[in-house]
Amino acid sequence: MWEMRSGHKIGRGSIRPTKPSQLLQGEFENELADFEGVSGLGEALIQVRRLRSMLCMVEVWAWEAMASDGQRKGQGKKKQVTWRIFSLKELHSATNNFNYDNKLGEGGFGSVYWGQLWDGSQIAVKRLKVWSNKADLEFAVEVEILARVRHKNLLSLRGYCAEGQERLIVYDYMPNLSLLSHLHGQHSAECLLNWNRRMNIAIGSAEGIAYLHHHATPHIIHRDIKASNVLLDSDFQAQVADFGFAKLIPDGATHVTTRVKGTLGYLAPEYAMLGKASESCDVYSFGILLLELASGKKPLEKLSTTIKRTITDWALPLACERKFSELADPRLNGKYMEEEMKIVVFVALICAQSRPEKRPTMLEVVELLKGDSKEKFDLLENNELFKSPLPADYNDGSGVDDGSDFISEEKERIQVVKELEGEGGK
C-alpha cells in the first residue's frame, strides 16, 4: 500500500479516499497568489510549486468525483476512480527498464513505452525526455486534464509517477496504435481502415472533443488535435490523447491568449498569428484531421523543395466540383458510401475555414457527421464556400517549407506568421 499526503490509501486498481483538508483545497490558488510578480529564481520556484499544487488538486478532484457519486440516491455503487500513483521501480519493471524494444514512439516531449503490470494488464508509459520547469508544468497540466475527464473517446489516465526528476504518465495501451500509423506509418500499406471504421473514428473523435468543449467543467481546449493524437483501441474506436498543451477556459471567456504550440498544417490562422486559443481552434484542426482521414493525404504536401500545399487548398476545388471519387483515399478502392464521403468532406472544409466565426461548434459537427439533421446538411451543401467559381478570398495555400512541422516556442511563431502572411498575399 502507498500513502498519498491528502489521505488517499492506494491499493492495486482502485482508490479509497478520505476527505482532504480545506487547506489542501485552497492550496493551488494560494501558491500562485503568494508569489505573484516574482521573477528569476522566484519564477522557477513558482513552476515547482505549481506542479506540487496541481498534483494535490488531482487528488482533491478524485475525492470530489467519488463523493458526488456517493451522494446521488438510487444510483447503486459508487463509481471507482481507477487511476493511481505508480512507483518508478514498478514502471521500470513493467517496461523492462524502458527497453528500446518496448518503445512505441517518440516526440518532442519524450518517449512512449509499452509495459505490462503484475496483473497482466498492458499499459503505455509516457516518459518525459528532459526535466525542466516548463516540462514539469506541461506534465502537471496533462495529469490535471486527464484526472478531470471521463469519456469513452478520451484516453483514460491509469496513473502517474513523479520521483526525483522523472515524470511519467501511465495510460491504457491502445493495441492499434494511432490514426497516423494507419494513414502514413507502419500500418498504412495494410489498409486496415475501411470506410466504416473511418466513419466511426470521425464520429468518436468528434464526440470526445465535443465533451471537452461543452461538457467538461471548466471547458477545455486541446490545442493539438492531429492524427498522431487519435489512438485506436482493439475495436478501432477512437480515443483522443495527449493533453500536454491543453488549456482550461474560464467561465465567460471567449478565448485565452497564449504561446503558440501545435503542429503546422493543423494550426488555425488566428491562433498561429495572434496566439488566440479558443474552442474554434480545435474545430479548425479537426477539419484538417477529417480531410486527412477521408483522403489519406497529409495536411501539408510538398510540391517542391521550397513549396507546400495545404490539404484544404487541394480539397476545396474538388469539393466545389463534387469530384468525391478524386477526394477519396485510393486505398479504399472505391468502397465507401458517397453520401457519407460528401458529408465528411463538406464538414471538414466548413471546420477549416480561415474565419473562426464561420466555423461550426463541435456539437454541430457531431450532429452533421451522424446525419441527424438532413435540413442542416442541405444548408451546409448549399454554403457559398462550395459554389463555383471559388470565393474571391480563396488562396493557393502554398508556403515556405521551414523543414519542421512542430511549433513549440515563441520565436518559431514569428516564422509561422511570415509564412501565413506570404500565403495571404498570393
Q: Is 126 annotated as a binding residue?
A: yes
Confidence class of residue 202 from pLDDT cuts 50, 70 and 90?
very high
Last residue of one domain, picked from the residues 136, 155, 172: 172
What does the pLDDT average to over 409-414?
A: 43
Give the per-residue pLDDT at 203. 98
Q: Are residues 131 and 149 in the same domain?
A: yes
Q: Is the pLDDT of residue 405 over 70?
A: no
Q: How many domains are there within the chain?
A: 2
What does the pLDDT average to over 98-110?
A: 88
Kindly report the average pLDDT of the chain as a whole number: 78
> What digits encode the pLDDT tens for the residues 300-329?
998 888 888 999 999 999 999 999 999 999
Which residue is it, cell 444510483? 75
> What digits encode the pLDDT tens for the residues 352-386?
999 999 999 999 999 999 998 888 888 888 999 99
Q: Are residues 275 and 185 in the same domain?
A: yes
Which residues face 116 on adjacent strands?
A: 122
CA–centroid distance for 344 within its chain: 20
We report the CATH number of the domain holding residue 61 as 3.30.200.20
Burial 204-224 (b: 16+ CB within 10 A, else e): bbbbbbbbbbeebeebbbbbb
Q: Is the pLDDT of residue 238 over 80?
A: yes
Helix (H) / strand (E) containing 41 = helix 41-71
CA distance 157 to 86: 12
Which residues face 178 on adjacent strands?
A: 231
Q: Are residues 161 and 190 in the same domain?
A: no
DSSP tag of 214:
H
Choose among 289, 298, 388: nearest CA to 344: 289
Overall residue count recorded for the chain in this entry: 426
Which residue is it, cell 478524485? 62
pLDDT over 90 percentage in the chain: 49
Highest-confidence segment of 148-157, 263-272, 338-347: 338-347
Q: Is residue 224 among the annotated active site residues?
A: yes
| 331's grid cell | 486505398
Give the per-residue pLDDT at 10. 34
CA distance 150 to 159: 14
Give the per-residue pLDDT at 52. 58
What does the pLDDT average to over 137-154?
A: 87
Q: Are residues 119 and 261 in the same domain?
A: no
Catalytic residue among 224, 282, 313, 329: 224
* Burial (Cβ within 10 Å: 0-12, 13-18, ≥19) of residue 194: middle
Confidence class of residue 218 from pLDDT cuts 50, 70 and 90?
confident
Which residue is it, cell 512542430? 406
Q: Are residues 188 and 168 in the same domain?
A: no
Q: Is the pLDDT of residue 79 over 60?
A: no
Q: Is the pLDDT of residue 64 over 80?
A: no
CA distance 291 to 48: 41
Last residue of one domain, picked from the residues 172, 198, 222: 172
Confidence class of residue 80 from pLDDT cuts 50, 70 and 90?
low
What does the pLDDT average to over 335-339?
A: 96
- Domain coverage including residue 71: 2-172
Q: Is the pLDDT of residue 5 over 50?
A: no
> What digits encode the pLDDT tens for the residues 8-63?
333 333 333 333 333 333 334 444 443 344 444 455 445 555 555 555 555 555 54
DSSP tag of 74:
T
We report the CATH number of the domain holding residue 307 as 1.10.510.10
